[in-house]
Amino acid sequence: MQLVEPRPSRPIPIRITPLIDVVFILLVFFMLTTRLLPVDYLELANETAGESTANGEPLPELLVNADGTLSWLNDDYAMADLLPALAGQGINEVNLATTPDTSLAHFTRSLSALDNAGITPHWKRTGSPES
């Protein structure tokens, strides 16, 4: 004689709410403990120090002045005058430097004009200005 009736065999449902809570807590934990990389500085590759032309001569250096002119061999040139002079000398690669008071607009215009003329410009970075 059975005093207790057996339980009917039915599947027990899996409750998802505690699982979601645990996953959310883990997500918050990893978000708070992960170290984010600093985004304050942009690292630029500048490998012009060891480069030279095939025959061992140093690359010509152009200096962008504050008024937008370029200095080459102690003479100031406008970009329209400098490009034919460089092409006449057979120069297809130069180092490009700036004076401390040169604007970014003059630098990028010079860089683009040289690149469009088929001359490979390398940015010659100088020391940071003293404050």
Whole-angstrom Cα distance, residue 16 to residue 103? 61
Residue 90 located in a structural domain: yes
Report how many domains make up the chain. 1
Residue 45 has, within 13 A of its CA and on its CB side, a CA count of 2
Helix or strand or coil: residue 117? Answer: coil
Per-residue pLDDT tens, the chain, 131 aa: give them: 667 777 777 777 778 888 899 999 999 998 888 876 665 555 666 665 555 445 667 888 999 999 999 999 889 999 999 999 998 888 989 988 998 899 989 999 998 999 999 998 888 776 555 54
Residue 16 located in a structural domain: no
Residue 15 located in a structural domain: no
At 42 the pLDDT is 54
pTM above 0.85, yes or no: no
Residue 95 located in a structural domain: yes
At 25 the pLDDT is 95
Residue 76 located in a structural domain: yes
At 11 the pLDDT is 78
Residue 117 located in a structural domain: yes
At 131 the pLDDT is 41
Residue 22 located in a structural domain: no
Give the residue numbers spanning the domain of 113. Answer: 61-123
Question: What CATH number did the domain enclosing 85 receive?
Answer: 3.30.420
